[in-house]
Amino acid sequence: MKREKRDYDAVVVGSGPNGLAAAILMQQQGLSVLIIEGRESVGGGLASRELTLPGFIHDVCSAIHPMSLASPFFRTLPLIDFGLNFVNPPISAAHPFDDGDVAVLSLSVEKTANYMGEDARTYNDLMQSLCHAWPLIEKDAMGPLRFPEHPIEMAKFGLKALTSATQFVKRFKGKNARGLFAGMAAHAIQPLSNLSTSAIALVLLTAGHLKGWSIPRGGSLSIAKALAGYFQSIGGRIETGTYISSLSQMPSAHAVLFDITPRQLMKIAGQKFSSTYKWQLNRYRYGMGVFKIDWALNEPIPFKTAECRMAGTLHLGNTFEEIAQGELQTSLGIHTERPFVLLAQQSLFDDSRAPAGKETGWAYCHVPNGSTKDMTDAIEKQVERFAPGFRDTIIGRHTLNTSQLELYNPNYIGGDINGGVLDIGQLFTRPALRLSPYKTSKKGIYICSSSTPPGGGVHGMCGYNAAKAALKDVFSIKL
């Protein structure tokens, strides 16, 4: 059937990694695609600026990208030709303890297991098995709920992943393995007793062993620039500085994909949706927020252990029990005095981030959604706990509370950087219970943000999956 003439075949609203991925896939099929971005530059949460002092380049939002190199879609793109280069720290992540001990995540499963003491064999067997299976299940694990290509391997993964972190760590006896797993599971930004919190931990550990937790040279913005550059090189168009608040502002297209969360989608297109779909979107739940700090430093952070000084990422929270308690309190609206802190020290491995002889630091902790409490002191005390003398190295500081984060990126509702809580109730059914979570109730309108499976992270798979659905439904192109 011949389609009526439109300005574009597809329009993508929002240029985060998912919006860029959706636009690229559709442009690759020979369609005419326009990206509309509200800010003056592309990237969404992929942004890098001099936030503290001249010459110090900080990642405004997203900074740690375990899933970028592990993304089944991004791996197919020639992004190195568009200036994207990654640096792999010797240690992807380190997890120090009060007693001076440390657990690490490195490329080698065996070397990581060596830090686990009595749990070394258990960890080694677990991760060797997952690393072997991951190439078979990655597209199913990072997509909508469907019958998998490798059902046995996927079922084995699912039995582990759908458990709570609290339940999963019972297989470990020592504090090192339990603590390392807690830090990984805390990326889920919810109580560790919730079902499916093990999924986040297992995926992050597997990505670390298969690809490492890479740092984009020059800052997170370089990922967005490379994706945008490739998109334009194959004929795509980008319009920045245009904030969409209603469908009437948009050019005509056969398909529109929104890289936004349900709350914004309702404001823009809610009048077009069925009552059932609107009811579902209005019930969509957002999770805990984050309070973020960037530091300009006079020297490297003086962590007590050598492994921490060699790690791109630090998980600061001590034992499993302490992290679990803090995450639970935060989910209940309580600001804990000892929050779990996720810290990155990119300039140690990327000399483009700071002037010679200087360093940068990036960190956040979880806070109740919408909190405006200043957590600077609590975060810096946690760093000082494992790096005595840290505060003496600070020469500049920049902070963002949840309201400021949402002002910068409207997708971060109440400071929620995951686009909605990633618990068992919204893991596969985000943002609504539908055969295809990317399709809205209005033909031709799709949602492609982290509010769809598989959720948060710089991997582009939400956009890729949404674009596949639109290609099939609207253009009869099946990939």
- pLDDT tens track for 327-339: 999 999 999 999 9
Domain-terminating residue out of 408, 437, 462: 408
Same domain, 151 and 123: yes
Burial 26-49 (b: 16+ CB within 10 A, else e): bbbeebbbbbbbbbebbbbbbbbe
DSSP helix/strand/coil, 397: strand
Number of separate domains in the chain = 2
- d(Cα 427, Cα 411) in Å, to the nearest integer? 18
Q: What is the CATH number of the domain that holds 315?
A: 3.90.660
**Judgement on whether residues 305 and 201 belong to the same structural domain of the protein:** yes
| pLDDT one-digit tens code per residue, 369-378 | 999 999 999 9
Mean pLDDT of the chain: 96
pTM here is 0.95
Exposed / middle / buried, residue 464 (Cβ in 10 Å: 0-12, 13-18, 19+): buried
Question: Does residue 51 lie in a domain region?
Answer: no
Residues 235 and 102 in one domain: no
**Same domain for 304 and 369?**
yes
193 and 292 belong to one structural domain? yes
- Nearest C-alpha neighbor of 227 from the set 355, 420, 399, 37: 37
Residue 254 domain boundaries: 8-46+62-83+216-284+416-475
pLDDT interval class at 105 (50, 70, 90): very high
Pair (332, 423) in one structural domain? no
Amino acid at 349: F
462 and 316, same structural domain? no
Confidence of residue 4 (pLDDT cuts 50, 70, 90): low
Q: Could you count the other beta carbons within 10 Å of the beta carbon of residue 357? A: 7
Instruction: Judge residue 386's burial from the number of C-beta atoms within 10 Å of its C-beta, 0-12 exposed, 13-18 middle, 19 or more buried.
Output: buried
Ramachandran class of 55: left when φ > 0, alpha when ψ lies in -120 to 50, beta otherwise: left
Neighbours of 85 (CB within 10 A): 14
Pair 180, 226 in one domain: no
One domain, residues 270 and 294: no
- Give 192-250 pLDDT, tens digit per residue: 999 999 999 999 999 999 999 999 999 999 999 999 999 999 999 999 999 999 999 99
Does residue 3 belong to any structural domain of this protein? no
Map residue 199 onto helix, strand or coil. Answer: helix
In this prediction, residue 427 carries a pLDDT of: 87
Q: What is the pLDDT of residues 151-167, one digit of tens each?
A: 999 999 999 999 999 99
The answer to whether position 297 is within a domain reads yes
Q: Is 80 exposed, middle or buried (0-12, 13-18, 19+ CB in 10 A)?
A: exposed
- Return the pLDDT at 1: 43
163 plus 206 within the same structural domain? yes
pLDDT tens digit sequence for 416-440: 999 999 999 998 889 999 999 999 9
| 2 occurs within a structural domain | no
Q: Which of 389, 408, 427 is the last residue of a domain?
A: 408
Give the pLDDT band of residue 254 (cuts 50, 70, 90): very high
**Cα–Cα distance for residue pair 346/120, rounded to 1 Å:** 29
Q: Could you read off the pLDDT of 185-204 as tens digits, one per residue?
A: 999 999 999 999 999 999 99
Domain boundary among 408, 437, 457: 408
Residues 452, 430 contacting (CB under 8 angstroms): yes
With respect to residue 263, please indicate whether it lies within any of the assigned structural domains.
Answer: yes
Q: What is the pLDDT of residue 428?
A: 84
Q: Are residues 362 and 464 in the same domain?
A: no
pLDDT tens for each residue of 258-313: 999 999 999 999 999 999 999 999 999 999 999 999 999 999 999 999 999 999 99
DSSP code for 155: H
The pairing of beta strand 289-297 with beta strand 253-258:
unpaired
Same domain, 356 and 367: yes
Confidence of residue 64 (pLDDT cuts 50, 70, 90): confident
Q: What is the CATH number of the domain that holds 23?
A: 3.50.50.60
Joined tokens for residue 5: 């003439």
Answer yes or no: is 235 within a domain: yes
